[in-house]
Amino acid sequence: MALALTYSTSNTLVRMRLAAFRHALRDQFRRSWIVTGGLVGLALAGGTIWVAAAGKDDVLVVVLGVWMLGWVIGPLFAGGGDETLKPEYFTMLPLSPRTLSTGLVVAALAGVAPVISLIALVSLVVASGGVVAGLVAVPALLLQLFCFVLASRLAVAVYGVLLQVRAGAVIAALVNAFILAFTAQGWALIAAFVSTDVQGTIARAARIAPSGWGFDAVQAAGRGDWLQVVGLLLALVVLAVVMLFAWSALLVRRTTAARAGGKPRRLLTAKTPQGAAAAKEIRSWSRDLLYGHKAVFSIAYGLFFCLMPLAIGMRSMLPWAGPAAVVMAGSMCANLYGADGTAYWTTLMTPGSSRADVRARQRGFLLVFGPATLLITLLLTSWSGVTSAWPLVMSVLPALLGGAAGLVVACSVYAAVPTTDAHKRSGNPLNSGENEGETMGVVYVMFVLVATTCAPALIVALYLGWWGVPLGVLSGVLAWWYFGRVAARRLDRRGPELLTLLRHGRSPAEQAKKTAGFDALPKWRRALAGICLGFGAIPLFPQAVVPAIIKLTGSHSTKSWFLALYQDGPWQWVVIVLMAAVGLSMYAYGGLTYYYAKKRAPGVQIAAAAG
pLDDT mean over 379-391: 89
Q: Under 8 Å CB-to-CB from 509, ≥6 apart: which residues?
A: none
The domain locations on the chain are: 2-254, 273-505, 517-611
Confidence grade of residue 476 (pLDDT, cut at 50, 70, 90): very high
Q: Please say if the pLDDT value at position 553 is more than 70.
A: no
Instruction: Encode 218-255: b = buried (16+ Cβ within 10 Å), e = exposed.
Output: bbbbbeeeeeebeebbebbeebbeebbebbbebbeebb
* Contact (CB, 8 A) for 29 and 437: yes
Give one DSSP letter per residue of 585-596, joined into a string. Answer: HHHHHHHHHHHH
CA-CA distance, 156 to 174, in Å (whole number)?
A: 15
Main-chain dihedrals φ then ψ at residue 486, nearest 5 degrees? -65, -45
Please name the residue ranges forming H helices in 164-309: 166-195, 199-208, 213-223, 226-256, 273-287, 289-307
Name the residue with higher pLDDT: 537 or 608: 537
Q: What are 450-474's pLDDT values in tens digits? A: 988 998 998 899 888 899 999 999 9
More confident residue, 265 or 326: 326
Most confident of 63-77, 99-113, 177-191, 322-336: 322-336
- The phi, psi pair for 20, rounded to 5°, reads -65, -35
d(CA 44, CA 66): 11
Q: Which of 106, 21, 152, 61 is nearest to 428 (CA)?
A: 152
Q: What is the pLDDT of residue 518?
A: 61
Q: Which of 101-115, 208-222, 277-291 has the lowest mean pLDDT?
A: 277-291
pLDDT at 130 over 70: yes
Average pLDDT over residues 117-125: 91
Which ranges constitute the DSSP H helices of 344-353? 345-348
Nearest CA-CA partner of 331 in 505, 199, 201, 449: 449
> For residues 139 and 141, what is the distance between their CA atoms, to the nearest angstrom?
6
pLDDT at site 609: 43
Phi, then psi, of 421 in degrees rounded to 5: -60, 150
How far apart CA 382 and CA 305 sit, in angstroms, is: 18
- DSSP helix/strand/coil, 95: coil
Instruction: Please state, rounded to an integer, the average pLDDT across all residues of the chain.
Output: 80
pLDDT of 119: 92
Cβ neighbors of 21 (< 8 A, separation 6 or more) are 84, 110, 111
Greater confidence (273 vs 304) lies with 304
pLDDT at 306 over 50: yes
pLDDT surpasses 50 at 611 = no
Task: Tell how many helices (H) and how many strands (E) occur in the chain.
Answer: 27, 0
Task: For residue 40, name the pLDDT band (cuts at 50, 70, 90).
Answer: confident
What would the mean pLDDT of 185-196 be, rounded to a whole number?
Answer: 65
What does the pLDDT read at residue 453? 92
Does pTM surpass 0.75?
no
**HEC letters along 123-149:** HHHHCCCCHHHHHHHHHHHHHHHHHHH
Contact 399, 475 (CB under 8 A): yes
Per DSSP, the residues of 143-184 read HHHHHHHHHHHHHHHHHHHHHTSHHHHHHHHHHHHHHHHHHH
Asked whether the predicted pLDDT for residue 513 surpasses 80, the reply is: no
309, HSE (Cβ side, Cα atoms, 13 Å):
25
Contacts of 591 (CB under 8 A, 6+ apart): 445, 533
Q: Is 90 exceeded by the pLDDT of residue 575?
A: no
pLDDT in tens, 338-368: 888 788 888 888 887 888 889 999 999 999 9
Which residue did the predictor score with more confidence, 378 or 270?
A: 378
Q: How far apart, in whole angstroms, are the C-alpha atoms of residue 519 and residue 28?
A: 7
Rounded Cα gap, residues 236 and 215, in angstroms:
11
Half-sphere exposure of 527 (CA within 13 A, CB side): 8
**Residue 528's pLDDT band (boundaries 50, 70, 90)?**
confident
Query: CA–CA separation, 208 vs 267, rounded Å?
Result: 54
| pLDDT of res. 608 | 43
